Amino acid sequence: MSMWHGAKARRAAAVALAATALTVSLTACGGGGGDGAKEDGESSASANPSTGTPKDDGAGGETPDTSKVLATMRAANGLEIIIHSAERDEGGFLTVSGTLTNTGSKQEYAPVGWNGRETQVARTGRSFAGFTVVDKAEKKRYYVLRDTDGYPLTTTGVVNVKPDEKVAIFAQFPAPPDSTTQVDLQLPMMPTATIEIS
Protein backbone atom coordinates (compact mmCIF):
# COMPACT_ATOMS: atom_id res chain seq x y z
CA MET A 1 0.00 0.00 0.00
CA SER A 2 2.81 2.45 0.79
CA MET A 3 4.20 2.16 -2.75
CA TRP A 4 0.77 2.96 -4.21
CA HIS A 5 0.40 6.01 -1.96
CA GLY A 6 3.91 7.14 -2.90
CA ALA A 7 3.10 6.94 -6.61
CA LYS A 8 -0.13 8.82 -6.01
CA ALA A 9 1.73 11.56 -4.13
CA ARG A 10 4.36 11.87 -6.88
CA ARG A 11 1.67 12.22 -9.54
CA ALA A 12 -0.15 14.85 -7.48
CA ALA A 13 3.11 16.76 -7.09
CA ALA A 14 3.74 16.56 -10.84
CA VAL A 15 0.29 17.92 -11.66
CA ALA A 16 0.77 20.72 -9.14
CA LEU A 17 4.16 21.57 -10.64
CA ALA A 18 2.72 21.66 -14.16
CA ALA A 19 -0.13 23.88 -13.03
CA THR A 20 2.29 26.22 -11.26
CA ALA A 21 4.58 26.38 -14.29
CA LEU A 22 1.70 27.29 -16.59
CA THR A 23 0.35 29.87 -14.15
CA VAL A 24 3.75 31.55 -13.87
CA SER A 25 4.18 31.39 -17.65
CA LEU A 26 0.77 32.91 -18.37
CA THR A 27 1.26 35.58 -15.72
CA ALA A 28 4.64 36.55 -17.17
CA CYS A 29 3.08 36.80 -20.63
CA GLY A 30 0.08 38.82 -19.54
CA GLY A 31 -2.30 35.90 -19.05
CA GLY A 32 -5.13 35.12 -21.41
CA GLY A 33 -6.53 38.62 -21.81
CA GLY A 34 -9.97 39.11 -20.33
CA ASP A 35 -10.89 35.45 -20.24
CA GLY A 36 -9.91 34.98 -16.59
CA ALA A 37 -9.90 31.75 -14.65
CA LYS A 38 -12.12 28.82 -15.54
CA GLU A 39 -15.13 28.21 -13.37
CA ASP A 40 -17.48 25.22 -13.26
CA GLY A 41 -18.66 23.42 -16.38
CA GLU A 42 -15.57 23.68 -18.58
CA SER A 43 -13.52 20.74 -19.72
CA SER A 44 -10.26 20.00 -18.00
CA ALA A 45 -6.69 20.51 -19.06
CA SER A 46 -5.21 18.31 -16.36
CA ALA A 47 -6.03 15.12 -14.54
CA ASN A 48 -7.26 14.25 -11.10
CA PRO A 49 -4.28 12.33 -9.68
CA SER A 50 -6.42 9.81 -7.84
CA THR A 51 -8.75 8.86 -10.69
CA GLY A 52 -7.07 10.02 -13.89
CA THR A 53 -10.30 11.83 -14.84
CA PRO A 54 -10.48 15.49 -15.77
CA LYS A 55 -11.00 18.09 -13.05
CA ASP A 56 -12.51 21.52 -13.45
CA ASP A 57 -9.68 23.82 -12.41
CA GLY A 58 -7.55 23.11 -15.48
CA ALA A 59 -3.83 23.74 -15.87
CA GLY A 60 -3.12 26.82 -13.85
CA GLY A 61 -6.77 27.89 -13.88
CA GLU A 62 -6.24 30.03 -17.02
CA THR A 63 -7.60 29.54 -20.53
CA PRO A 64 -5.84 30.83 -23.62
CA ASP A 65 -7.25 33.70 -25.66
CA THR A 66 -9.33 31.58 -28.02
CA SER A 67 -9.95 34.51 -30.36
CA LYS A 68 -6.42 34.03 -31.69
CA VAL A 69 -5.70 31.11 -34.03
CA LEU A 70 -2.06 30.38 -34.88
CA ALA A 71 -2.75 27.02 -36.53
CA THR A 72 -5.28 24.21 -36.81
CA MET A 73 -4.37 20.51 -36.74
CA ARG A 74 -7.07 18.05 -37.83
CA ALA A 75 -7.14 14.25 -37.59
CA ALA A 76 -9.22 11.97 -39.79
CA ASN A 77 -11.39 10.91 -36.82
CA GLY A 78 -12.70 14.46 -36.24
CA LEU A 79 -10.37 15.46 -33.42
CA GLU A 80 -9.07 18.97 -33.98
CA ILE A 81 -6.44 21.00 -32.14
CA ILE A 82 -6.44 24.77 -32.52
CA ILE A 83 -3.27 26.48 -31.31
CA HIS A 84 -4.04 29.87 -29.74
CA SER A 85 -0.67 30.96 -28.38
CA ALA A 86 3.02 30.10 -28.33
CA GLU A 87 4.76 32.41 -25.91
CA ARG A 88 8.21 32.63 -24.36
CA ASP A 89 8.62 33.59 -20.74
CA GLU A 90 11.55 35.05 -18.85
CA GLY A 91 12.51 31.66 -17.45
CA GLY A 92 13.53 30.37 -20.88
CA PHE A 93 10.38 28.34 -21.53
CA LEU A 94 7.99 28.23 -24.48
CA THR A 95 4.37 27.49 -23.58
CA VAL A 96 2.04 26.39 -26.36
CA SER A 97 -1.67 26.60 -25.53
CA GLY A 98 -4.68 25.49 -27.49
CA THR A 99 -8.05 23.77 -27.58
CA LEU A 100 -8.81 20.15 -28.43
CA THR A 101 -12.27 19.72 -29.96
CA ASN A 102 -14.21 16.71 -31.19
CA THR A 103 -15.84 17.95 -34.40
CA GLY A 104 -17.37 14.55 -35.13
CA SER A 105 -20.73 13.06 -34.18
CA LYS A 106 -19.48 10.34 -31.83
CA GLN A 107 -17.14 10.07 -28.87
CA GLU A 108 -13.49 9.75 -29.87
CA TYR A 109 -10.49 8.55 -27.89
CA ALA A 110 -7.23 10.47 -27.72
CA PRO A 111 -4.64 8.39 -29.60
CA VAL A 112 -2.14 6.59 -27.39
CA GLY A 113 0.56 7.95 -29.72
CA TRP A 114 -0.05 11.42 -28.28
CA ASN A 115 1.57 10.20 -25.05
CA GLY A 116 5.00 10.08 -26.67
CA ARG A 117 7.22 7.05 -27.13
CA GLU A 118 9.71 7.62 -24.34
CA THR A 119 9.61 5.04 -21.57
CA GLN A 120 10.24 7.83 -19.06
CA VAL A 121 6.76 9.27 -19.62
CA ALA A 122 4.90 5.98 -20.08
CA ARG A 123 3.98 5.88 -16.38
CA THR A 124 2.24 9.25 -16.70
CA GLY A 125 -0.64 7.70 -18.59
CA ARG A 126 -2.57 9.81 -21.07
CA SER A 127 -0.80 13.05 -21.93
CA PHE A 128 0.39 15.26 -24.77
CA ALA A 129 4.07 14.43 -24.19
CA GLY A 130 4.30 13.43 -27.85
CA PHE A 131 4.30 17.10 -28.88
CA THR A 132 7.60 18.36 -30.31
CA VAL A 133 8.72 21.75 -31.57
CA VAL A 134 11.08 21.85 -34.55
CA ASP A 135 13.26 24.89 -35.18
CA LYS A 136 14.16 24.39 -38.82
CA ALA A 137 16.48 27.40 -38.94
CA GLU A 138 18.61 26.07 -36.07
CA LYS A 139 18.00 22.43 -37.04
CA LYS A 140 16.87 21.51 -33.52
CA ARG A 141 13.95 19.56 -32.10
CA TYR A 142 12.55 20.37 -28.64
CA TYR A 143 10.61 17.89 -26.51
CA VAL A 144 8.06 18.59 -23.80
CA LEU A 145 9.83 19.47 -20.55
CA ARG A 146 9.82 17.04 -17.61
CA ASP A 147 9.74 17.75 -13.90
CA THR A 148 12.32 16.28 -11.53
CA ASP A 149 10.35 13.01 -11.31
CA GLY A 150 10.16 12.64 -15.09
CA TYR A 151 6.54 13.72 -15.51
CA PRO A 152 5.85 15.86 -18.62
CA LEU A 153 4.82 19.50 -18.29
CA THR A 154 1.75 19.14 -20.45
CA THR A 155 -1.93 18.37 -20.20
CA THR A 156 -2.63 14.90 -18.79
CA GLY A 157 -5.69 12.74 -18.24
CA VAL A 158 -7.53 13.33 -21.53
CA VAL A 159 -8.78 9.88 -22.57
CA ASN A 160 -11.94 10.54 -24.57
CA VAL A 161 -13.65 13.57 -26.03
CA LYS A 162 -17.41 13.77 -26.59
CA PRO A 163 -18.93 15.37 -29.70
CA ASP A 164 -18.49 19.17 -29.62
CA GLU A 165 -16.54 18.95 -26.35
CA LYS A 166 -13.66 21.40 -25.98
CA VAL A 167 -10.62 20.74 -23.78
CA ALA A 168 -8.00 23.40 -23.03
CA ILE A 169 -4.50 21.96 -23.51
CA PHE A 170 -0.92 23.13 -23.08
CA ALA A 171 2.63 21.90 -23.51
CA GLN A 172 5.82 23.53 -22.27
CA PHE A 173 9.19 23.33 -24.03
CA PRO A 174 12.65 24.89 -23.75
CA ALA A 175 12.45 28.19 -25.66
CA PRO A 176 14.25 28.40 -28.99
CA PRO A 177 16.69 31.32 -29.47
CA ASP A 178 15.18 34.81 -29.63
CA SER A 179 16.07 34.95 -33.32
CA THR A 180 13.62 32.12 -34.02
CA THR A 181 10.14 33.46 -34.68
CA GLN A 182 8.58 30.48 -36.47
CA VAL A 183 8.61 26.77 -35.60
CA ASP A 184 6.87 23.57 -36.64
CA LEU A 185 4.63 21.95 -34.03
CA GLN A 186 4.31 18.19 -34.39
CA LEU A 187 2.10 15.59 -32.72
CA PRO A 188 1.85 11.92 -33.77
CA MET A 189 -1.08 11.14 -36.09
CA MET A 190 -1.68 14.85 -36.76
CA PRO A 191 -0.42 17.08 -39.58
CA THR A 192 2.51 19.37 -38.84
CA ALA A 193 1.52 22.97 -38.02
CA THR A 194 3.79 25.97 -38.57
CA ILE A 195 3.28 28.58 -35.84
CA GLU A 196 4.62 32.01 -34.96
CA ILE A 197 6.12 32.33 -31.49
CA SER A 198 6.41 35.47 -29.41
pLDDT digits (tens, 9 = 90+) for 137-152: 999 999 999 988 888 9
Report which of residues 118 and 172 the model is more confident about: 172
Q: What is the mean pLDDT of residues 88-99?
A: 94
- Would you say 149 and 16 are in contact if contact means Cβ atoms under 8 Å apart? no
Q: What is the mean pLDDT of residues 50-54?
A: 32
pLDDT, position 105: 93
Q: Provide the mean pLDDT of the chain.
A: 76
Per-position DSSP letters for 48-61, written without gaps between them:
-TTT--B-TTTTTT
pLDDT, position 46: 40
Distances (CA, A) of 6 to 3, 26, 169: 5, 30, 27
Q: What is the mean pLDDT of residues 172-183?
A: 95
Q: Please work out, in degrees rounded to the nearest 5, the angle formed at the alpha carbon of residue 150 by the alpha carbons of 148 and 151.
A: 105
Q: What is the mean pLDDT of residues 34-52?
A: 36
Report which of residues 145 and 24 the model is more confident about: 145
Q: Which of 35-49, 52-66, 118-132, 135-149 has the lowest mean pLDDT?
A: 35-49
pLDDT, position 150: 85
Distances (CA, A) of 5 to 2, 47, 49, 58, 89: 5, 17, 11, 23, 34
Q: Which of 116-120, 130-134, 176-180 has the lowest mean pLDDT?
A: 116-120
Beta bridge pairs of residue 132: 143, 186
pLDDT, position 62: 53
* Res. 187 pLDDT band, cuts 50 70 90: very high
pLDDT, position 24: 41
Q: What is the mean pLDDT of residues 98-107?
A: 95
Nearest to 38 by CA among 99, 93, 79, 80: 99
Q: Which of 86-95, 109-118, 184-193 has the lowest mean pLDDT?
A: 109-118
76: left (phi over 0), alpha (psi -120 to 50) or beta: alpha
Is residue 37 predicted with pLDDT exceeding 60? no
CA 179 – CA 23 distance, rounded (Å): 25
